[in-house]
Amino acid sequence: DTLVISGLLGIIVFGLMAKVAGKATSGVPGGLQNFVEMVVGLVDQQVKDTFHGKSALVTPLAITIFVWVFVMNAMDLIPVDFLPLLAGAVGIHYLKAVPTTDPNLTFAMSITVFCIMIGMNLKVKGVGGFLHEVFSAPFGMKLAPVNFIFRVVEDIAKPISLALRLFGNMYAGEMVFILIALLGIWQLPLALPWALFHILIITLQAFVFMMLTIVYMSMASESH
């Protein structure tokens, strides 16, 4: 479910953005072009404010993360029993419709970001410079073993916290929607306010994942 739904959402949203980019005009933009430009401009400004290195990868990576995580989170706004009912009609009796409520996906994304971060460290600082930073920061080479332990803990915490923050917030939100749906006729007065509040949550979680990625890339591209 996670692979299929996230893949389809990625194809749809990035295919649409590619189509808009291909038909972009320097004149008065249409509504869709204006919206895509606004999203890209927002992310690009965050990268310029946070990332001070030189890399052609960071802005596209940030845009990809923000847009993809947002649309996957937005699946939570579809009534929780709607897609499973449609799937049940064609013989699929279990469907997990929100990919970001699956820790396999959030950890896959966070580990990917972590690997890119390590790659950027090696590219910018070289193997020698990277190892020197690992063993010398923050207490100097005399406490190299302590520095190494601190660095390992810090680097392991990054993908774990990145993955669990997104998963935990989205899983909890989905559980609330399910509990509201079980109330039957009384669900409408509760579902609408929670859905409106959840729009803020899904946007914020996509933004936080993107911003932390930019921060990690910035840390990787600068000397301690």
Per-residue pLDDT of the chain (224 residues; tens, 9 = 90+): 999 999 999 999 999 999 999 988 888 888 899 999 999 999 999 999 999 888 889 999 999 999 999 999 999 998 888 888 898 898 888 888 999 999 999 999 999 999 999 999 999 999 999 999 999 988 989 999 999 999 999 999 999 999 999 999 999 999 998 888 888 777 778 888 888 999 999 999 999 999 999 999 999 998 65
**What is the DSSP code (8-state) at residue 184?**
G
**What is the model's pLDDT at position 31?**
87
Distance CA 114, CA 150 (A): 17
| pLDDT value, residue 223 | 67
Residue 129 has, within 13 A of its CA and on its CB side, a CA count of 14
pLDDT of 55 reads 84
- Would the pTM of this model clear 0.85, i.e. be above it? yes
User: What is the pLDDT, as a whole number, of residue 81?
Assistant: 81
Length of the chain: 224
| Cβ neighbourhood burial of 197 (10 Å; 0-12, 13-18, 19+) | exposed
For residue 125, the SS3 value is helix
User: For residue 25, what pLDDT is reported?
Assistant: 83
Cα atoms in the Cβ-side hemisphere of radius 13 Å centred on 154: 13
Per-residue model confidence (pLDDT) at position 37: 92
Determine the residue type at 140. G
Distance CA 214, CA 47 (A): 7
Q: 103-136 and 58-74 are packed helices; what angle lies between their axes, rounded to 10 degrees?
A: 150
Tokens coding 32: 């869709």
pLDDT number for residue 224: 55
List residues with catalytic annotation.
161, 165, 169
Q: At what angle do helices 2-22 and 31-50 cross, to 10 degrees?
A: 100
Structure token digits, residue 72? 């996957």
Q: Could you tell me which residues come within 8 angstroms of residue 164 by beta carbon, excluding any fewer than 6 positions away?
A: 103, 106
What per-residue confidence (pLDDT) applies to 202?
A: 96
Phi, psi of 171 (to 5 degrees): -65, -45
For residue 222, what pLDDT is reported? 83
**What one-character DSSP code corresponds to residue 28?**
S
Cα–Cα distance measured from residue 212 to residue 117, given in angstroms and rounded to the nearest whole number: 11
